[in-house]
A and B are shown apart, each in its own frame.
Chain A
Amino acid sequence: MKLHWKIWVLIIALIVAALFIAPWAMFEKGVMIKSVEKNSTELSIGLKSGMIIREINIYPINNLEDYTRAVSEIFSNINQSIKITIKTTENSFILFTDEQLKITVGEIPKSKIKTGLDLSGGARALVKPQNVTLSDLEIADLVAVTGARFNVYGLKDITIKPVKDLQGINYLLIEIAGATPTDLETLVGEQGKFEGKIGNQTVFVGGKDISHVERSGQRAGIESCSAQQQTEMCRFSFPISLTEEAAKRQAEITGALTISSEDPQYLSEKLDLYIDDNLIDSLFISKDLRGQVTTQISISGSGTGETRADAIKSAEESMKKLQTILITGSLPYKLEIVKLDTISPTLGKEFTKNLIILALSVFIIISVILFIKYRRIKITATVVLTMFSEAFITLGIAALINWNLDAPSIAGIIAGMGTGVNDQIVIIDESVSNAHISLKERIKRAFFIIIGAFFTIIAAMIPLFWAGAGMLKGFALTTIISVLAGILITRPAFAEILRKIQED
């Protein structure tokens, strides 16, 4: 049987959606690395979060229980360094240790579909600066700084993004998946402490002592690039202005330093930058600065990469990070948590289970009603298949754009399925009525109604993209995707299949 191109479009859409969702991940064996401790041997030998562990020494790892058992047996009573071989899907890693592995692992996600906080558990904070309205650039700084600070605390699976509401007010939305630290509120609500230290003496404190950071223009940017063996290295620099007081303090501290024995261009100690007392960067201090009271100092650093372009990119990224850190203590406002939700992962599991049962019961109920009405297995099966396709394609697109499906998003998918069924009923009824008009004309009429209904639903959902800082965007998004998938892909195919059934 030759298939019409509309049916081919549907088949291809379903295959592509399946590729995006990747449900076969549920058959994959192993455990996934969730995080690797900072400055650990594990990190230095190349273990990274996201890798899948299949084997440790002789123990095959199929799931979390296997991992726990293997680790407890290996480390049960050792008093000297032993060899640990970790096999991942792609590589083998060997390390010698007498301590527990400095990694955390979790189950491999069953598919690429991500669930929202209300279903997976975690924390969400909506943050707003007190009494000021931020520009887009300022909010981007805030995002970068908050990200840098959270990194320092080793928090994983975080998304930090700016959101805007209908009135144009900027917020910062922070979402953390899974169990969350209890001090989250302090962490989010406080501005963070940024310090520059030489040895253990504080030279300047972010904000208070830095009056200006030059971020662009002639004096800020990549200075030079050079090739070293196989790698390219680029240096950047940018000037900052210190207050008088900080400049004097710097002169005092640097005055006591000597010239570095390794590199006579620089002083013997480095300038260490700290966020909330965690070291994040060390900078060389030029020998010319020794004992000088200068308010203008130049901060420099470098980036490396395999190609020149990579090196430039890496240098620019480091520069941007440093600039943001230096500016931020100087955020001239306090942050206010306007919404803070912490959702228990246990309850989320229960919700997810019930949502799946609900979706199945909706499928069954609709099938039964349609079968009672039309008494034709083929027609009923086609409607059910179409409904399934719409939901599946919507999930595929959600997986593709990394959308976190929360409860309203899933409500949107089910509601979208509802309108889908309605449209198919219109197509069926038009196609069986008025036998003296051509089938093509009747289907065309059906599509007039369908397209009208489509535009009204789009019109109704669009304002939700902005209202309430986009907290209900998911609902609007899934509804629109599913009606869109319906009108462009599944309903034309459905009409075609129906035509075939009618002709037989």
Chain B
Amino acid sequence: MNILLIDDDEVTNYINKRIFCSVYPDSNITVAGNGSEALTVIENNISNALPIFDLILVDISMPDMDGWEFIDAVSENKYILQHKGFFFMLTSSVFDDDIIKAQSKPFIKKFFSKPLDIEKIKEMVELC
């Protein structure tokens, strides 16, 4: 399974990698530190015909381009939209406003609050 983690926090990325590997030991995990880095990674994947990401996990609060700006940029990028994997929010936020906002974005499959755990990963995979 191909996974893209978009989060600026090094520790979070380490934790999430470990949890993913405990469920899917063969998974191939890429990390992007903010929205614009993630856009570059996805575009690069598409243009080099690399396997698309099955799961894309997006944090909200990140420097430079945050999660919402990233989601908006993706939804305006027809090029990326054609090849999209499944987007999930995975953030420290537990606020209703964020949850409702995520629901209003059509291609976010679901909103998850950190911490990531095995149950949440299973739910994500089932939703795909």
Chain A complexes with chain B = no
